[in-house]
Structures are given as structure tokens and as C-alpha cells.
Amino acid sequence: MKQVYVLKEPVDKITLPGDLFKNIKNIDVDYEQENLILFCLNTKKQIVHSETVFKGGLNTCCIDPKTIFRIALKYNSDSVIIAHNHPSGDLQPSAEDKHIFEMLKNAGEVIEVRCLDSIIFNKEEFYSLREA
């Protein structure tokens, strides 16, 4: 009996925040409330998994770092990127947005799953905390 192996490699390589924004546009996002999407990447910076992890209200979303890194470890991720929308459409990061990104970067260093970026987006544009 001949065995056939099919290798399913992820194809979306993320080199710039705009690459990730193209993927966000393909996700069904409820723009009336905050949604936090987690992107798990392999060592080649290819998306191996993405999901909306948290949903919030009009201007806030509770984020649990343990949940983010549990999912990242489940998919054997080398790194993660988080993205969330602001229902107001304003792309400027809040102090809390900056704090969460720093906290995830620090936590990721400890377990060697780097948090590469935090993207804030609306229907048309995005803002990268890493590039700011």
C-alpha cells in the first residue's frame, strides 16, 4: 500500500503590518464592538492560526495574557501579533493599548513566544504600535 503525505504549509508570510491588515479584512469583524484577534506565526513568520479571542464593548475589551499564550503554545507558535478594532474608528492607541502591548512583549520574552506587534484597525486603515 502506497502512502501519500500531504504537507500543508502556511503561505501568508507577514513581513509588514500591511500584510496582516490584508488578512484582517478577510475576517468577519463586528465593528460595533471591540474585537481582539490573535495571529499565531511560525518561525518563517507565516500565519498558522488566527482567531477572535476576546470581544468587548464600545470602548474596552478585557484581555487575558494567559489565554493568548495558551493558544500560541497550542499551535506551536514562534511569535504572535494581536489586532483589535476601535468601534469609534479612531486609530490612536490608548494608554491601555500601549500597556497591554508592552506587557505581552515582556511575557512573551520569558516563554520565547515574541509578541511582534499590536495593530489597531478600522474598516479602511490600521495603526501599528511597533512602527509608531
User: What domains lie within the chain, and their CATH numbers?
Assistant: 17-128 (3.40.140.10)
Name the grid cell of 78.
514562534
Residue 6 pLDDT level (bands cut at 50, 70, 90): very low
Could you read off the pLDDT of 11-61 as tens digits, one per residue?
568 889 998 998 888 888 889 999 999 999 999 999 999 999 999 888 788
Length of the chain counted residue by residue = 132
The CA distances from residue 4 to 1, 7, 8, 10, 11, in Å, are 10, 10, 13, 19, 21
Q: How far apart are alpha carbons 79 and 82 in whole angstroms?
A: 10
User: Whole-model pTM?
Assistant: 0.89
Could you read off the pLDDT of 75-121 as tens digits, one per residue?
999 999 999 999 999 999 999 999 999 999 999 999 999 999 999 99
